[in-house]
Amino acid sequence: MHTDPSEFLETVATPLGWFYVIGGAMNVGAAVYAGRGKKFVWTAVWLTVSAAFALLGTASFAGRPLILPEGLKSAIDGLLNPVSFIGGSFVVFLVLYLGRRFFVLPAVAWTGLNVSLLLMGTSMTDPEFAAIVTKADNVPIVAMVYLLGLFTYLAAAQAVRNDRRMLDGLPPVEEQYKGKVLAWPDLVYIELICMILLTVLLVVWSLTLRAPLEQPANPVVTPNPSKAPWYFLGLQELLVFSDPWLVGVAVPCLIVFGLAAVPYLDRNPRGSGYYTIDQRKFAYLVFQFGFLLLWVLLILVGTFMRGPNWNFFGPYEVRDPHKVAALTNVKLSEYFWVILLGRGLPQVPEGAGAIVRLGHILWREIAGVVPLAVYFVVLPPVLGRTLLRKFRRRMGFGRYTLMALLLLMMMTIPLKIILRWTFNLNYIVSIPEYLLNF
């Protein structure tokens, strides 16, 4: 759909104005809050920010919202290529984790929110970005980004506070709430109120946003891109990297299995009933890595970065179905046999018996099979002796091995993604004869 840019701005200007007004109001709230806490510097800061938002809002209402300069947009588009986006996300994750004590400071977090609002508001003047964000389908995803931010922040802030208290020898904050409360009104009444409020939310939502029905499905003309429901977009993203039955069937099963196994693997009582990071660094990191980076981030990639033909697009890039991306990928076996050794791929003899064939296949894929074997067989004991010595000792051989295998399994996914984007590596092990491409 092509739209006239000026017309597009007209349609988007007024809602943006309201968006900025809300942003400004939020900052007024923050200023008041800071004032009550006698932090008058911050009151002044937030009032200034609020005034800035008011200015932006006025400009929007006047039909001239602040627009991201084209140069910046293309710079962002260029920056957000797969490698830097995925790699950068890992880095950001690490920075956030390491600097958590800084980032949970209210002023820092609030500044982060303001920046994100500003970025969102200015980005909305881009038709491509706006089209994605305002699509009725994507409302939950946009909401998720902010809600996830909020809850991650909440948990981290409380954990940091507890960690600090415990360093000072104090019990965690939650300690004071130990005991029992009444079902009515402390539980059921609140649930009732929540129920009513949620009903209100649903009614209002249904009145204001139409069900995003599209045209009747046509087997000949599938939507381009065809996207899974938003909560499965992460899995769909994985399809780029491996065979469907592996990442579409085996991996989800393993995720379910792994999650079910967590209570049996992790019997560490620390951190139960209160927020902490310091006491559960490994568990925290593993969970946040798996959830935020391997699940949520991939959903965001699927939503915001994937366009027609499942090509990777920058957030402001025109979703041109005719865009062609140079995606020539090479299998590891080819790297090994053809490029490194300079000879052809070993041929699997036609009409040979199954075992002979399998032998030939394994020989062909030797470059992938061996590292994989090392990864899964050698790495757990090695890790158990070095990095994870503590865990091995505490958990015993069986539980440790299971945990290590699950962990390594999880880590194959980012590894595979990185290998693909950096070395154009198609498959580590490619056995199309048995639909086994990994």
Partner 1 sequence: MRASDQTFYDKRLLHLWMAAASLALLAATLWMVAADHRREWKQHQRTFRDRIEPWATEAQIVQERSREFLAREEELSAALAEARAMVPPSELIERFGKELESEAASLESGPPDLDELRRAYDALAAEPSIAARDALMEQLGEFTAAATLRRQNAQRRLRFRRAEFDEARTYYETAGGEGASQAALEKTQAKVERAADDVTRLTAELQTAAAHCDALDAVVREITEEEDAARNALADHRATLDRLDRNLAAQQTSLGKRMLRLPLIDAFGRPLAIDQTWLPELTIDYNFRQVARFDRCATCHEGIDHNAPGRADQPAFNMPRELTVRLATPRQAPDPPSLEDVYGLVLAERGILDPDVATIVRIAPKSLAADAKLCVGDAIAGVDLAARPSSQQPARPPSMSRLEVEKALLEEIEWGTPATLHIRRGLPQPFCSHPRLDLFVGSLSPHPKSEFGCTICHDGQGSATEFKWASHTPNDRAQRNRWRADRDWFRNPHWDFPMMAARFVESRCLRCHHRVTDLEPSRRFPDPPAPKLLAGYQLVRTLGCFGCHEINGIDPSGRSIGPDMRLEPSAPEAGGVPHPGTMRKVGPTLRDTADRLEAPFLHDLIGNPTRVLPTARMPRFYGLHEHLDGGSLDDARRFEAVEIRAVAEYLLAAGQPVEPVPEPAGVTETPLVERGKRVFQIQGCLACHRHTDFPKGQGTQGPDLSNLATKYTGESARRWLVGWVRDPSHYSPRTLMPNSLLAPVLLAGDARSVTDPAADVAAYLLASPSDYRPRATPALVERDLDELALMHLGKQFPLKQAAEYLRNGIPQSMTDRASGDAAMLLGEMSVEKKLRYVGSRTIRKRGCYGCHDVPGFEQAQPIGPELSAWGRKQESLLAFEQIDQYLDKTAAEKAADGDPDGDPDDDPDRDFFTAALRGHRREGFIWHKLRRPRSFDYVKVHNKPYNQRLTMGRFDLNQQQIEAIATFVLGLLAEPPAEKYVYQGDVRRRAIAEGRKLLDKYACAACHVLEMERWQFEFDPDEFFGPPATEEYDFVKPLVTPRQTAASLQTDLRGLGHAEVTGMPRGDATGRLLEDEDDDGNPLFFFTLWEPAVINGSVWTVGGAEVMISGPRVTGKRPPLGGALARLLYPDVLAEARASGSSTSEVEALGWVPPSLVNEGARVRPQWLHDYLLQPTAIRPAAVLRMPRYNMSPDEAGKLVDYFAAMAGAEFPYSSHRRGRSANLAAAEALRPGRLDDAMRVLIDRQTYCAKCHLIGEFGPGGENRTILAPDLERVGRRIRPDYVRRWLASPKSVLPYTAMPVNFPPTGDPLGQDLFPGSSMEQLDAVVDLLLNYDWYVRSRTKTENLVPPVVVEDESTEGGTDE
Shortest distance (Å) from residue 134 CB to partner 1: 12
How far is CA 112 from its chain centroid? 18
Number of residues lying near partner 1 (CB under 8 A): 32
Least CB distance to partner 1 at residue 227 (A): 15
The rounded distance, in Å, linking the Cα atoms of 341 and 141 is 48
Note whether 196 binds partner 1 by CB under 8 A: yes
Map the footprint of partner 1 across residues 14-33, applying CB under 8 A.
none
Integer Cα distance of 152 and 158 in angstroms: 10
The total number of residues shown for the chain amounts to 438
Closest contact distance (angstroms) between CB of 203 and partner 1 is 4
Q: Residue 268 and residue 397: Cα distance in Å, rounded?
A: 16
Q: Which of 6, 169, 211, 214 binds partner 1 (CB under 8 A)?
A: 214
What distance in Å separates the CA atoms of residue 341 and residue 214, rounded to the nearest whole number? 53
Specify the DSSP class assigned to residue 279. G
Instruction: Judge contact between 136 and 209, C-beta under 8 A.
Output: yes
- Please identify, using beta-carbon distances, which residue of 79 and 190 lies nearer to partner 1: 190
- Tell me whether residue 229 is exposed, middle or buried, using C-beta atoms within 10 angstroms of its C-beta: 0 to 12, 13 to 18, 19 or more: exposed
Of 180-188, 252-260, 370-378, 387-395, which segment contacts partner 1 by CB under 8 A? 180-188
| 224 binds partner 1, rule: CB under 8 A | yes
Paired tokens of 50: 């609020």
**Contact between 200 and partner 1 per CB under 8 A:** yes
Among positions 115, 143, 170, 193, the unique one binding partner 1 when judged by CB under 8 A: 193
Q: Scanning residues 293 to 332, which ones bind partner 1 (CB under 8 A)?
A: 321
For residue 412, what are its two tokens?
């194959």
Q: For residue 306, what are the β-bridge partners?
A: 312
Q: Per-residue contact track with partner 1, 152 to 171, x per CB under 8 A?
A: --------------------
For residues 64 and 12, the answer to whether their CB atoms sit within 8 Å is no
Q: Which residues are at the interface with partner 1 (CB under 8 A)?
A: 1-4, 179-182, 185-186, 189-190, 192-193, 196-197, 199-200, 203-204, 207, 213-221, 224, 321
